[in-house]
Amino acid sequence: MKNDKSVCSATLELLEKTQAEDLSTAFSRADKLKPCNIGGEGVCCKMCAMGPCRLPKAQQDKGQTGVCGATADTIAARNFLRMIAGGAASHSDHGREVAQVFLAMARGESKDYQIKDEAKLMKLAAELEIPTEGRTVQEIAVDLGEMMLAEFGRQEGELCFIKRAAEKRQELWRELGVVPRGIDREVVETMHRTHMGVDQDVRSLLLQGARASLADGWGGSMIGTELQDVMFGTPVPLRSKVNLGVLKEDQVNVIVHGHEPILSEMLVVAGRDPEILKAAKAKGASGINIAGICCTANEVLMRHGVPIAGNMLQQELAIVTGAVEAMVVDVQCVMQSLPEIAKCYHTKVISTSSKARITGATHMQFDEHHALDSAKKIMLEAVNNFPNRKGKTNIPAASTDLIAGFSHETINYMLGGRFRGSFRPLNDNIINGRIRGVAGVVGCNNPRGPHDAVHLAMVKELIKNDVLVLQTGCSAIACAKEGLLLPDAAKEYAGEGLAEVCETVGIPPVLHMGSCVDNSRILTAATEMVREGGLGDDISDLPVAGAAPEWMSEKAIAIGQYFVSSGVFTLFGVNWPTTGSEEVTRFLFEEMEEIFKGKWAFEPDPIKAAQRMIEHIDEKRKALGIDKARERVLFDMDMRREAQAG
């Protein structure tokens, strides 16, 4: 296997081992399995049994349509919408699960969970007009849980967090008729409209896609983030470590993988239980080491400092170390290959969600009403597996320090101070040009390109040009492995203006804001920037951009669309799923801007992509009349350098 598969040394080291042992991984399978061009371009329809109908350009040029008469444009738009629906459904079902557990906790039916951030509960109650006077915390929490749960099945009106958006944005959404009514309703309607013989108009379809995406970003995902914060604590900055080197030779290694923190929070508690630790020692281990993969990793990192073993493409490789007693998974981004690769080692793959049964895995249903008991049973399963390790382990040495935990509340506090928390200093530094703009770089890994390389090149180019980077998901893990989530990275990689701000405030130039559902934190932070003043009156006025340079998941498309629908220029790498239809691609890349003042773009080269994002940021600076300020700052810096040289 060539060395161009990844830029992560631990990944390369273990890939060599898989090659020597002829083990199949996502990397080797991607090499063997060429993607289907027609499906990749979005012009294969299998919505009914008269098809599948495939309409590549040559067929389109002959005037060919699907058997039902559907054009390639309709097919591409429908396929794009179904990706949004899949992504929105996944995030939102995560949010629903959290809301259900939250309500059970508030009602006293799930005693192992508690309210960890009462201040945030009260803030949400005030925002949502839930009465608090003379009521207990539990009563208020029950109202909040019921209200949030009702958002999923709401049939009319507007989702309540829509009111968080800037006034101008809300008005635009209302004019366009894209304010989501209920989360489930928008997902269902999207599936209905894309059924054979229903909505056949590209604009009408794509506007419904926007509506469903907003139901995710300002609905399901936001509910997930907010209730998780109340129940598990709002993240604050903390130190930890990342990469497969966090696994420990002499301890029971338990990997938590997937997305919902409901189980992993309890596993963290169970891992500290004296009885479980005693059992581990009795089996010859010196302790229990929990580490995360994917967004579950981000959740428990942000709140407990639990180290991260790796991102999406490292899940199989964690097992290849031979040091993992159990990989405990719930939902999303869990590869079906895990039990197969685990057969070569002693690792137990333990599935825990009734929604995600995995052939070959050990299923231990997690019961949130008896959460700690469930978690302890899973932990004991891992402990009992410790003596079964087969021979020498292969834990790579690589592990890097990181700082995570930048919720929007934390950014507010760090920049403004405890008693005058505010985004003012951020806005001021954007206005005076020390910070050129802000970019959200998020999303997955994809073996169709070099693992982590695209994230790193893009993020380094952005911070070099004084763009502050906000991150979530597997992208944040990639940058953490490179040391970009440390304050020292500002000196090494950031432009002078950004470095100066980071050094003054003591923050890294790349801020880890959490998991996939926590992209809603980026929406909130952007809205706070608008509210703070001086940078226009809508997210679309801000000098900001978004990107998912190594995306693979439908969730990434849903996230990208809710950023675009919220007014953000959003750029994806790897490939673009509608290239088979000029009309749909033009609509997404150009007309969306006229409608939403945000648009999609595609650029697989990370440097060119970063430059396009910077160009966009500069255009916004110009429109705000703050481009001159930036020139002055650069001039001042040059003068300072000259003076120093002299």
Q: Based on the shown chain and the rule CB under 6 A, indicate whether residue 555 belongs to the binding site for ligand MSK.
A: yes
CB of 295 or CB of 588, closer to ligand MSK: 295
Residues 126-145 interacting with ligand MSK (rule: CB under 6 A): none
In residues, how long is the chain?
Answer: 646
- Candidates 106, 1, 110, 54; CA nearest to 366 is 110
Strands 467-471 and 362-363, bridge-based pairing = unpaired
Q: Which is nearer to ligand SF4, 52 or 305 (CB)?
A: 52
* 3-state SS class at 404: strand
**Total of residues contacting ligand MSK (CB under 6 A):** 13
Q: Which is nearer to ligand MSK, 314 or 527 (CB)?
A: 314
User: Nearer Cβ to ligand SF4, position 48 or 364?
Assistant: 48
Which of ligand MSK, ligand SF4, none lies near 46, with the C-beta cut-off 5 to 8 A by kind? ligand SF4
The nearest distance, CB 474 to ligand MSK, in angstroms, is 3
Site membership for ligand MSK, residue 223 (CB under 6 A): no
Smallest distance from ligand SF4 to CB 191, Å: 14
With CB under 6 A as the rule, give the number of residues binding ligand SF4.
Answer: 14
Radius of gyration of the chain (CA): 24
- Residue-wise DSSP of 76-114: HHHHHHHHHHHHHHHHHHHHHHHHHHHHHHHTTSSTT--
**What mask of x and - would describe binding to ligand SF4 in positions 155 to 194, judged by CB under 6 A?**
----------------------------------------
Among residues 1, 19, 40, 51, the one that binds ligand SF4 under rule CB under 6 A: 51
Q: Which of 225, 234, 553, 578 binds ligand MSK (CB under 6 A)?
A: 553
Beta carbon nearer to ligand MSK, 12 or 297: 297
DSSP code, position 347? P
Q: Which of residues 68 and 634 has its CB atom nearest to ligand SF4 in the complex?
A: 68
Side by side, which strands form the sheet with 252-257? 362-363, 348-351, 324-329, 252-257, 288-293, 308-310, 238-242, 400-404
Three-class SS state of 240: strand
Handedness of CA 24, 13, 610, 298 (dihedral sign): positive
- CA gap 171, 289 in Å, rounded: 50
Find the binder of ligand MSK among 255, 263, 295, 414 (CB under 6 A): 295
One-character DSSP codes across 426-467: HHHHHHTTSS-EEEEE-----TTS-BTHHHHHHHHHHHHTTE
Give the Cα-Cα-Cα angle 550, 336, 29 (nearest 5 degrees).
60
**Is residue 39 part of the contact set for ligand SF4 (CB under 6 A)?**
no
Backbone angles phi, psi at 451, to 5 degrees: -55, 130
Interface with ligand SF4 by CB under 6 A: which range of 44-52, 339-347, 349-357, 409-417?
44-52
Could you say which of ligand MSK, ligand SF4, none residue 66 binds, taking C-beta under 5 to 8 angstroms by partner kind? ligand SF4
Does 68 interact with ligand SF4 (rule: CB under 6 A)?
yes
- Cα distance between residue 215 and residue 90, in whole Å: 12
Angle at CA 326, nearest 5°, toward 301 and 389? Answer: 125
State which amino acid sits at residue 496. E
Q: Which of 95, 145, 473, 606: binder of ligand MSK (CB under 6 A)?
A: 473
> Does residue 111 interact with ligand SF4 by CB under 6 A?
no
Using CB under 6 A, pick the residue from 144, 444, 486, 609 that binds ligand MSK. Answer: 444
Residues of this chain that interact with ligand SF4 (CB under 6 A) are 45-48, 50-53, 66-68, 70, 75, 196
Residues of this chain that interact with ligand MSK (CB under 6 A) are 259, 294-295, 312, 333, 443-444, 473-474, 515-516, 553, 555
